[in-house]
Amino acid sequence: MSTQQVLILAFAAVAGYLIGAIPVGIIVARLSGGPDPRSVGSGRTGGTNALRALGRKWALVVVLGDVAKGAVPVLIAALISGWEPWPMAIAALAAVLGAIRSVYIRFHGGRGVGAGVGTLLVMAPLAILFTAPVFFGAVIVTRYVSLGSLLGAAAICPATLLAVWLTQGSVPPPYWLYATVGPALIWIAHWDNVQRLLRGEERRLDVGLLTGRSRRR
């Protein structure tokens, strides 16, 4: 491996983490004058808590921002490396890690789902078509966003490998790393949700928040 390749990998890791760590939910809350999403629900900064704290419009902004902070570093890594898979995979994993453990907010953050979707948009967009029905189906049937996220994350591995195989004819090692470690990070970030699901204490999605007929707390 050449010095240039090492530098590109290092840059991809640092840029991926620092961009992925941007606390979009907190920034949007401050700009909109709304409550900090960490003050409600699970105390996380992602889209579900933003929905509870800020309402539909600002929650959508948070979700789009979270997706962007996953997509942008992977796209940067792709452009500077000539679309080499290793820098892209490293940037993707670093972005998800940053989203979960952000240096800007004392290593707290979200669950990494939005950033994970953003990385998929660049690395294996076809995989989103395979995983989206799993996520939305679970949420619609159970009203547990966490369960939808967990099942969607579990589906990322086979979906990514299948998408890459269909488009490239083979699956390079970086995609195997990305498809296994990425979902594992998201599952670890959801561990408190897993425990609440097992105890039957998990919070269900208030459909009224989506329709505008429920008060935010």
DSSP codes, 28-47: HHHHHT---GGGSTTS--SH
Report the distance separating Cα 171 and Cα 48, nearest Å: 33
Cβ atoms of 95 and 19 closer than 8 Å: yes
**CA dist 68 to 16, 41, 92, Å?**
12, 24, 12
Q: Under 8 Å CB-to-CB from 169, ≥6 apart: which residues?
A: none
Report the distance separating Cα 191 and Cα 30, nearest Å: 28
Task: Please work out, in degrees rounded to the nearest 5, the angle formed at the alpha carbon of residue 27 by the alpha carbons of 44 and 68.
Answer: 80
Summarize pLDDT for 55-71 with one digit per residue, the tens: 989 999 999 999 999 99
Residue type, 191: W
pLDDT of residue 28: 96
Report the distance separating Cα 69 and Cα 115, nearest Å: 6
Rg (CA), the chain: 17
Report the distance separating Cα 11 and Cα 73, nearest Å: 10
Report the distance separating Cα 189 and Cα 186, nearest Å: 5
- Residues in the chain predicted with pLDDT less than 50, given as ranges, are 215-217
pTM of the predicted structure, to 2 decimals: 0.92
pLDDT of residue 129: 95
Report the distance separating Cα 21 and Cα 39, nearest Å: 19
Summarize pLDDT for 133-153 with one digit per residue, the tens: 999 999 999 999 999 999 999
pLDDT of residue 213: 59
Summarize pLDDT for 33-49 with one digit per residue, the tens: 999 999 887 789 998 89
pLDDT of residue 125: 95
Cβ atoms of 13 and 94 closer than 8 Å: yes
Where along the chain do its domains lie?
A: 3-209
Cβ atoms of 99 and 124 closer than 8 Å: no
pLDDT of residue 107: 94
pLDDT of residue 147: 95
